[in-house]
Amino acid sequence: DADVTQTPRNRITKTGKRIMLECSQTKGHDRMYWYRQDPGLGLRLIYYSFDVKDINKGEISDGYSVSRQAQAKFSLSLESAIPNQTALYFCATSDRATGHYGYTFGSGTRLTVV
Amino acid sequence: GESVGLHLPTLSVQEGDNSIINCAYSNSASDYFIWYKQESGKGPQFIIDIRSNMDKRQGQRVTVLLNKTVKHLSLQIAATQPGDSAVYFCAEIVGFGNEKLTFGTGTRLTIIP
């Protein structure tokens, strides 16, 4: 099983619909992140959480919300999806206690808003 | 503004040759850098990292060089193989307290058989 699992892998939704992307991890990491990837723009941070009671906005949080339901689960919601939210979304985890600052990424969710 | 970027969006290298992927950064306070590899349909995968107090770090077939004077980072891949074909990203952390990675836009490496 993957260390960081994202569901669904692919999703097509209509403009105005609410959609939730889910992320779960088995690494025991305390920190979790949601990134968005668009062609030519690299990965941009949407939201991040350093523990269960901590939620922080990233550089492009408008139109998104998150919930950290447990240490292992971090979900991203689009309250009213719009076409320019069509992108590849990645969840990632990290653990400061390891002294290693690299992230472990999930395989991504490809979201298309029509 | 502060940014992490790459010199070239694409790079083609003959199989067996060495590859060099470059990255420029603008924040002299950057503390830590990471190279990631992203294969088609997958999430980014950690390759190697380097702290700002180092100039060079080696891994298996990969070497990262850091030149703080000109704010330049490079990833060298020795004896490139078809499996090295991917998009490579550099990322930086400014300040170990927040540990948010800022990513560059990526270089697509294509290996020519």
Which residues from A are below 8 Å from B100, CB to CB? 33, 45, 48, 58
Higher model confidence: residue A98 or residue B106? B106
In a mutational test of the A interface, the residue from B101, B102, B105 whose CB has the highest number of chain A CBs within 10 Å is: B101
User: Mean pLDDT, to the nearest integer, of A1-16?
Assistant: 92
Tell me the residue type at B109: L
User: Strand, coil or helix: what is A85?
Assistant: helix
* DSSP one-letter string for A19-81: EEEEEEESS--SEEEEEEEETTTEEEEEEEESSTT--EE-TT-TTEEEEEEETTEEEEEESS-
pLDDT of residue B99: 67
pLDDT of residue B31: 85
Looking at the predicted structure, is the pLDDT value of residue A28 above 80? yes
Looking at the predicted structure, is the pLDDT value of residue B95 above 90? no
The CA-CA-CA angle for residues B24, A4, B58, to 5°, reads 40
Average pLDDT, chain B: 88
Looking at the predicted structure, is the pLDDT value of residue B2 above 60? no
For chains A and B, what is the number of CB pairs under 8 angstroms? Answer: 51
In a mutational test of the A interface, the residue from B2, B51, B103, B108 whose CB has the highest number of chain A CBs within 10 Å is: B103
Separation CA A36–CA A47 (nearest Å): 10
